[in-house]
Amino acid sequence: MRRTRIGLVVGLAVVALAVAGCGGDDEEAGGATETETTTETTTASGSTLTASVGPGFEISLTGADGADVSTLAAGSYTIEVDDQSDIHNFHLTGPGVDETTDVSDTGTATWEVTVESGTYSFVCDPHSSSMSGSFEVSG
């Protein structure tokens, strides 16, 4: 009988510690996680964006904060392109925009573009099925 009581006391202590470990910080941690996973931001007109392609099979368009561009406000932007491979290009298209680097060239380019409402896409033309992205422009 004594072993049963000791086992019961130890079991209750383990349950109490487990419950205490799952205490009030969960709500705070959940809030922090939600904030960290929010990635969609609208970049303001007049900003500089960074386009990159290569050296591997990677293509991206990022804002000043380094986050991938998902939405932009309509307006004018400077896009600094870093083409790091002679087997890729960076090709940006959308309403009123059609800019590209040459596939066989590497280096940097600077484009001044004005975007309006709609969907814009960027691709590596020779590898468009695996190297592409897009973003939305609003009002």
Residues 6, 32 contacting (CB under 8 angstroms)? no
Closest CA to 50 of 38, 28, 65, 70: 65
Looking at residue 123, which CATH number applies to its domain? Answer: 2.60.40.420
**Domain identity same for 99 and 130:** yes
Look at residue 43 in the predicted model and tell me its pLDDT: 74
**Domain identity same for 17 and 80:** no
Q: How confident is the model over 117-139, as pLDDT tens digits?
A: 999 999 999 999 999 999 999 98
**Could you tell me the CA-to-CA distances from 121 to 5, 38, 39, 40, 139 in Å, in that order?**
69, 22, 19, 17, 18
**Domain identity same for 9 and 50:** no
**Residue 75 tokens, joined:** 């307006």
Q: How confident is the model over 70-115, as pLDDT tens digits?
A: 999 999 999 999 999 999 999 999 999 999 999 999 999 999 999 9
**Domain identity same for 26 and 46:** no
**Domain identity same for 28 and 72:** no
- How many structural domains is the chain composed of? 2
Look at residue 96 in the predicted model and tell me its pLDDT: 96
Q: How confident is the model over 24-57, as pLDDT tens digits?
A: 444 444 443 333 333 455 677 789 999 999 999 9
**Domain identity same for 106 and 51:** yes
What is the model's pTM? 0.70
**Domain identity same for 89 and 129:** yes
**Domain identity same for 60 and 124:** yes
**Domain identity same for 91 and 124:** yes
**Domain identity same for 77 and 18:** no
Look at residue 129 in the predicted model and tell me its pLDDT: 97
**Domain identity same for 84 and 133:** yes
Provide the domain limits for residue 74. 42-138
